[in-house]
């Protein structure tokens, strides 16, 4: 780690002094001004709510060029990974830095499939939830609860314990997510079947019922796998930063991942896929699109086009391109002529020609088409973000591990500019 090179100096004139700050260059992306020593040397902090200009770590996992619409995992473009690879291979890549050899991949796949079952007592947790609980509420609770079953994972200084924790999390997430779905619909839990692929096994755990024979559909399993790949990691977004921040105190890895799940839930982040499909359904028909475009542009209306815009991408989100193709494949396979897909395509066309969206560089993001596919596969909208969390678990684990192995890692502790009351003396209640 710590391979960013100093390539220059930035000078900051402040309070009559000139402070020199190192300028660092990574392999790709803009240079950064290293302000680590600013407080010690100049007695000032930087202020950046929402972290729009702030890097929080050095990372070798994922690179995004938001202007060009590029996403690389360990150097490999997402389009190539989605076309040629599988989710478990991408998981290995994210965790280990290199694509696996055949024997490495066999070993990794075997490890993951050996850990797909949940501790039987985990099933009791579900009974405590209302039947209509939001799946993300259940996921936040049950992922955190798993930390009680694996106390050994608390020892983050042991690389074997860390590895086991990541394998278990990746292996158990589909089982947990499928149980959440089954609990909502009131069907019996289906246990994992380890001779199936990761995606096939997940679909079977969700949609098989004891009364009928279940056959996996290879086209749907491939689409599911692709959706998992497209969501596997996305550098320092809100949920990943949450996992890193929670983990920086030495918290249990399952608890840190549960914090990531909580952060993912919101409609500005992972919850956008659910919100987007609800919005497309509300629009309902192509002739109502202009009304919703007008609302999205109206400063006095809080409505936003869900599935549009991104903090980093100021161009087409490359994941959205793959997602659009996959949506067409899945709907064709299922023989569905979904009016929602027509609304989505037309909305995209109109928005991309509109000055407001052009000026603000607002393009479809990964969530714009994913809901259409998941809906066609039979998932209720409330499950969409759970599937995102399932796939993002490997990204969270990779990022958490990178942070733990980084010798410069310290507990995350941002500062503030205080604008509350100045020092004042306490007044007895009777005198107030």
Q: Which residue ranges make up the site for ligand CMC (CB under 6 A)?
A: 237, 268-270, 272, 296, 304-311, 360, 362, 365-367
DSSP 8-state symbol, 189:
-
d(CA 292, CA 286) in angstroms, rounded, equals: 11
Nearest distance from C-beta of residue 280 to ligand CMC, angstroms: 12
d(CA 308, CA 316) in angstroms, rounded, equals: 10
Nearest CB to ligand CMC, comparing residues 115 and 295: 295
Q: Is 310 a catalytic residue?
A: yes
Nearest distance from C-beta of residue 5 to ligand CMC, angstroms: 29
Nearest CB to ligand CMC, comparing residues 212 and 353: 353
Nearest CB to ligand CMC, comparing residues 179 and 310: 310
Sign of CA dihedral 319, 324, 325, 326: positive
Active-site position among 225, 233, 367, 375: 367
Strand, helix or coil at 7? strand
Q: Is 406 a catalytic residue?
A: no
Contact assessment for residue 118 and residue 179, using Cβ atoms and an 8 Å cutoff: yes
Both structure tokens of 226 = 């692709």
Q: Phi and psi of 21, rounded to 5°?
A: -120, 135
Nearest distance from C-beta of residue 140 to ligand CMC, angstroms: 16
Residues 6+ apart with CB under 8 A from 400: 243, 244, 247, 253, 256, 257
DSSP per-residue codes, 60-112? SSEEEETTTTEEEETTEEHHHHHHH--HHHHHHHHHHSS---HHHHHHHHHHH
Nearest CB to ligand CMC, comparing residues 222 and 269: 269
Contact assessment for residue 56 and residue 412, using Cβ atoms and an 8 Å cutoff: yes
Active-site position among 310, 317, 355, 375: 310
Nearest CB to ligand CMC, comparing residues 204 and 310: 310
Smallest CA-to-CA distance from 206 within 218, 190, 220 is with 190
Instruction: Give alpha helix (H) positions in 299-418.
Output: 318-334, 339-352, 355-359, 367-377, 384-405
Nearest CB to ligand CMC, comparing residues 82 and 362: 362
Nearest distance from C-beta of residue 183 to ligand CMC, angstroms: 25
Which residues are known to be catalytic?
A: 310, 367
């Amino acid at each position: 780690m710590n391979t960013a090179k100093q390539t220059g100096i930035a000078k900051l004139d402040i309070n009559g002094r000139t402070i020199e700050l190192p300028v660092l260059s990574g392999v790709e992306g803009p240079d950064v001004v290293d302000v680590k020593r600013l407080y010690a040397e100049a007695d000032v902090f930087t202020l950046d709510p929402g972290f729009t200009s702030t890097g929080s770590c050095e990372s070798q996992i994922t690179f995004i060029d938001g202007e060009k619409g590029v996403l690389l995992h360990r150097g490999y473009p997402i389009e190539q990974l989605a076309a040629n690879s599988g989710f478990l291979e991408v998981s290995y890549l994210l965790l280990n830095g290199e694509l696996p050899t055949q024997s490495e991949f066999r070993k990794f796949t075997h490890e993951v499939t050996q850990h797909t079952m949940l501790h039987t007592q985990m099933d009791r947790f579900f009974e405590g939830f209302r039947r209509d609980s939001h799946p993300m509420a259940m996921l936040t609770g049950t992922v955190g609860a798993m930390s009680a079953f694996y106390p050994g994972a608390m020892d983050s200084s042991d690389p074997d314990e860390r590895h086991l924790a990541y394998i278990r999390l990746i292996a158990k997430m589909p089982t947990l997510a499928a149980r959440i779905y089954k609990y909502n619909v009131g069907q019996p839990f289906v246990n994992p079947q380890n001779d199936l692929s990761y995606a096939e096994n997940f679909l079977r755990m969700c949609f098989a019922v004891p009364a009928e024979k279940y056959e996996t559909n290879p086209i749907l399993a491939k689409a599911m796998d692709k959706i998992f790949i497209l969501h596997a990691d996305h550098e320092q977004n809100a949920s990943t930063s949450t996992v890193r921040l929670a983990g920086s105190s030495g918290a249990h890895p399952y608890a840190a991942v549960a914090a990531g799940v909580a952060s993912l839930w919101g409609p500005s982040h992972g919850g956008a896929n659910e919100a987007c499909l609800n919005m497309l359904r509300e629009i309902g028909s192509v002739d109502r699109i202009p009304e919703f475009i007008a609302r999205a542009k109206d400063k006095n209306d809080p409505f936003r086009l869900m599935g549009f815009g991104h903090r980093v991408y100021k161009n087409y989100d490359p994941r959205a391109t793959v997602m659009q193709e996959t949506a067409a494949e899945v709907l064709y396979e299922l023989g569905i002529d979904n009016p929602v897909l027509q609304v989505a395509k037309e909305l995209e066309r109109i928005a991309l020609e509109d000055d407001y969206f052009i000026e603000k560089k607002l393009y479809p993001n990964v969530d714009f088409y994913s809901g259409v596919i998941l809906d066609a596969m039979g998932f209720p909208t409330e499950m969409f973000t759970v599937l995102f969390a399932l796939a993002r678990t490997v990204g969270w684990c990779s990022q958490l591990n990178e942070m733990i192995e980084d010798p410069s890692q310290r507990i995350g502790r941002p500062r503030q500019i205080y604008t509350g009351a100045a020092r004042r003396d306490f007044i007895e209640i009777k005198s107030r």
